[in-house]
């Protein structure tokens, strides 16, 4: 059930901009927030090192068949049904989600509020998010 729900959330999220964390603490400016975020990221890599894994898709190759036709003294041959899908690989960090949770807990431990939202898509949204932050309100989108 959770996998279906996650798929629906990801499908809907695909229609929007990339999700990002909004980190906020009343009275703290954006530079100090970024410094705290960076410190938590650095600590997360110390505590939870990268563990790279690779998924390999072997691909598919079917040479097809050769069909030849003779017209008088001339013979022509064509390859029919040939398909070649090359192998591919994807490398990913097995610990990335665990490290993300560590960063959120670290920031919350420093008194920051953290929520997942979309990144600000326009200059007006960035301006509004910065104004909300200055007014002591949680921004509605993440300033990149």
Residue 5 has pLDDT above 70, yes or no: no
Q: Tell me the pLDDT tens digit for each residue of 132-143.
A: 888 888 888 888
Reported confidence tier of residue 16, pLDDT bands at 50, 70, 90 = low
Q: What percent of the chain has pLDDT over 70?
A: 88
Q: What is the pLDDT of residue 30?
A: 86
The DSSP-derived string for 16-29 is: SSPEEEEEE-TT--
Q: Tell me the pLDDT tens digit for each residue of 56-102.
A: 999 999 999 999 999 999 999 999 999 999 999 999 999 999 999 99
For residue 78, what are the contacts with CB-CB under 8 A and spacing of at least 6?
A: 66, 67, 68
3-class DSSP assignment, residue 127: helix
Calculate the average pLDDT of the chain: 87
Domain ranges, ordered by start, for the chain: 14-51+94-144, 53-93
3-class DSSP assignment, residue 51: coil
User: Between β-strands 60-62 and 83-85, what pairing exists: parallel, antiparallel or unpaired?
Assistant: antiparallel
Q: What is the pLDDT of residue 7?
A: 41
């Amino acid at each position: 059930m959770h996998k279906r729900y996650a798929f629906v959330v990801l499908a809907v999220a695909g229609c929007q901009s990339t999700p990002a964390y909004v980190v906020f603490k009343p009275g703290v400016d954006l530079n100090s927030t970024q410094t705290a975020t960076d410190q938590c990221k650095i600590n997360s890599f110390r505590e939870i090192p990268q563990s790279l894994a690779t998924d390999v898709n072997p691909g598919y190759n079917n040479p097809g068949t050769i069909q030849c036709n003779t017209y008088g003294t001339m013979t022509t041959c064509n390859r029919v049904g040939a398909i070649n899908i090359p192998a591919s690989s994807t490398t990913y960090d097995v610990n990335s989600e665990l490290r993300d949770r560590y960063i959120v807990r670290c920031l919350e431990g420093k008194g920051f509020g953290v929520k997942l939202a979309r990144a600000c898509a326009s200059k007006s949204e960035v301006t509004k998010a910065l104004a909300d932050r200055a007014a002591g309100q949680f921004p509605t989108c993440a300033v990149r």
